[in-house]
């Protein structure tokens, strides 16, 4: 009997619909949860077979395949990847970067260069908004910390980076997807992950409620986030947004290559 495929998922709320019900198939998969950067590292180290990796990490691993049909994306406001700034964005001179995801870091640098018209100094650190803003003009936060942060309590303005990307390009943004070596997922695993995503999206309210038990305000935020801000279908338009992101990152020398996108079951 073959061993279950080891999945590494992101621990944020946005990934929960993608793993809905997978715990009922221990014969096929096991799942662990980490921040995006750790998920990518575990894939590199062979500790997992498929990772829900930040999209930029795919370029570090030539030969990997992408699970088709499913991703974590947005088309406009994403709500959970944001710049919190105490100055007009064009006047920002220092930015503290949440080191949890390199994709969001690269996107931030692209937007400063191509949309905001500023060239700040970037420093990396843990996702503590108060501490970040104590030492910089602006701070990048991702995931649940960004979704739930109170910008006004820090005398800051929240700039949604999903919105800024779509305003600049007219395209959606792909934040993460399942990927791994070419032999990591057969058709049964691809089908399982796509079905989990479909089921998870249909149970979005229950997922948000379970994430914030006893907190009706946060439950409402979570429900709206999963329903209105996130896109989980890896469409051709999503792929176009991803290719554009890779092209922008390559043009600014943030990556050494820009593709191509290769999916399981193709070639």
What fold does the segment set 5-74+172-251 form as a domain?
A: D-Maltodextrin-Binding Protein; domain 2 (3.40.190)
Describe the chain by its helix, strand, coil percentages, rounded to 5.
45, 25, 30
Is residue 59 within 8 A of residue 257, CB to CB? The reply is yes
| Residue closest to 80 by CA, chosen among 250, 226, 188, 244 | 226
Cα dihedral 186, 69, 247, 80 in deg (nearest 10): -120
d(C-alpha 6, C-alpha 33), whole Å: 11
| Helix, coil or strand: residue 143 | helix
- CB contact set of 140 (below 8 Å; sequence gap of 6+): 81, 82, 83, 84, 95, 96, 97, 98, 104, 105, 108, 161
The helix (run of H) or strand (run of E) holding residue 222 is helix 216-224
**What is the mean predicted confidence (pLDDT) over 226-249?**
98
For the CA atoms of the chain, what is the radius of gyration? 18
**Domains in the chain: boundaries:** 5-74+172-251, 81-169
pLDDT-based confidence at residue 126 (cuts at 50, 70, 90): confident
The label of the residue with tokens 């800024």 reads 164
Q: What would the pLDDT profile of 69-118 be if each residue is shown by its tens digit?
A: 999 999 999 999 999 999 999 999 999 998 887 899 999 999 999 999 99
| Helix, coil or strand: residue 233 | strand
Domains 5-74+172-251 and 81-169 share a fold: yes
What fold does the segment set 81-169 form as a domain?
A: D-Maltodextrin-Binding Protein; domain 2 (3.40.190)
H-state helical runs in 76-214: 102-111, 129-135, 143-148, 161-169, 187-202, 204-211
Long-range contacts (CB closer than 8 Å, 24 or more residues apart) made by 219-223 = 221/147, 221/148, 222/13, 222/147
The pLDDT value given to residue 231: 98
pLDDT-based confidence at residue 27 (cuts at 50, 70, 90): very high
- What φ, ψ does residue 56 adopt, rounded to 5°? -65, -30
- The yes-or-no verdict on residue 20 having pLDDT over 80 is yes
Q: What would the pLDDT profile of 142-163 be if each residue is shown by its tens digit?
A: 999 999 999 999 999 999 999 9
| Helix, coil or strand: residue 262 | coil
Q: What would the pLDDT profile of 93-105 be if each residue is shown by its tens digit?
A: 999 998 887 899 9
d(C-alpha 13, C-alpha 19), whole Å: 11
- The yes-or-no verdict on residue 210 having pLDDT over 80 is yes
């Amino acid at each position: 009997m073959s061993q279950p495929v080891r999945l590494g998922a992101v621990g944020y709320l946005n990934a929960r619909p993608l793993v809905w019900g997978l715990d009922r198939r221990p014969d096929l998969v096991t799942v662990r949860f980490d921040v995006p950067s750790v998920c990518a590292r575990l894939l590199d180290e062979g500790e997992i077979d498929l990772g829900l990796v930040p999209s930029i990490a795919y370029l570090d691993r030539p030969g990997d395949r992408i699970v088709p049909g499913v991703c974590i994306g947005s088309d406009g406001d994403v709500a959970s990847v944001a710049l919190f700034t105490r100055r007009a964005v064009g006047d920002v001179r220092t930015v503290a970067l949440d080191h949890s995801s390199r994709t969001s870091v690269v996107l931030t640098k692209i937007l400063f260069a191509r949309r905001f018209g500023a060239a700040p100094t970037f420093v990396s650190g843990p996702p503590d908004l108060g501490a970040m803003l104590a030492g910089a003009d602006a701070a990048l936060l991702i995931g649940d910390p960004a979704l739930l942060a109170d910008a006004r309590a820090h005398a800051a303005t929240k700039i949604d980076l999903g919105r800024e990307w779509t305003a600049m390009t007219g395209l959606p943004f792909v934040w993460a997807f399942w990927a791994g070596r070419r032999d990591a997922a057969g058709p049964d695993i691809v089908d399982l992950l796509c079905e989990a995503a479909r089921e998870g999206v249909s149970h979005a309210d229950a997922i948000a409620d379970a994430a914030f038990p006893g907190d009706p305000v946060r439950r409402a935020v979570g429900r709206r986030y999963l329903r209105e801000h996130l896109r989980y279908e890896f469409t051709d338009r999503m792929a176009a947004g991803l290719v554009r992101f890779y092209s922008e990152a390559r043009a600014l020398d943030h990556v050494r290559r820009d593709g191509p996108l290769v999916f399981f079951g193709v070639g």
